[in-house]
Amino acid sequence: MKENQVFRPHVCKFQRFLATIVDLLPNARRNDELVQIIRIVGRQHCEIKTMSFTAEKWLAFKNVLSVLTENTGEVEFNFISHYFLTISLYFRFMNFVRLTNAHQTRILSEKL
């Protein structure tokens, strides 16, 4: 991130998103609010739009966060920030690959 500042805002926003989820997680009465936040984020990010977010995946995600907060009541944010930085970079790479493939397909169709 120090060399390529382009990722910094994305990672910081994702960390804020994750912190919000972790804050809401222990409060069962706020589950509807939590799902609504995830849907809003999903509408704004094409990578999330293309993912299928089933109830099974939601429960797995919630269980992972619960395990991370079990001992201290807090998430190990160092671990999570590295994990989500990796995911963020992966999505950016996949988006780049998709755009490159689309560009190559367009060039090939123009030649035909």
| Residue among 89, 103, 99, 102 nearest 6 (CA) | 89
Highest mean pLDDT among 1-5, 24-28, 47-51, 71-75 belongs to: 24-28
- Residue 42 banded pLDDT, cuts 50, 70, 90: low
Whether pLDDT at 82 is above 60: no
Whether pLDDT at 23 is above 70: yes
How is the chain split into domains, by residue range?
Answer: 5-111
| Residue among 30, 47, 48, 27 nearest 39 (CA) | 48
- Residue 30 banded pLDDT, cuts 50, 70, 90: confident
Is this model's pTM higher than 0.75 or not? no
Q: Which residues contact 70 (CB under 8 A, 6 or more apart)?
A: none
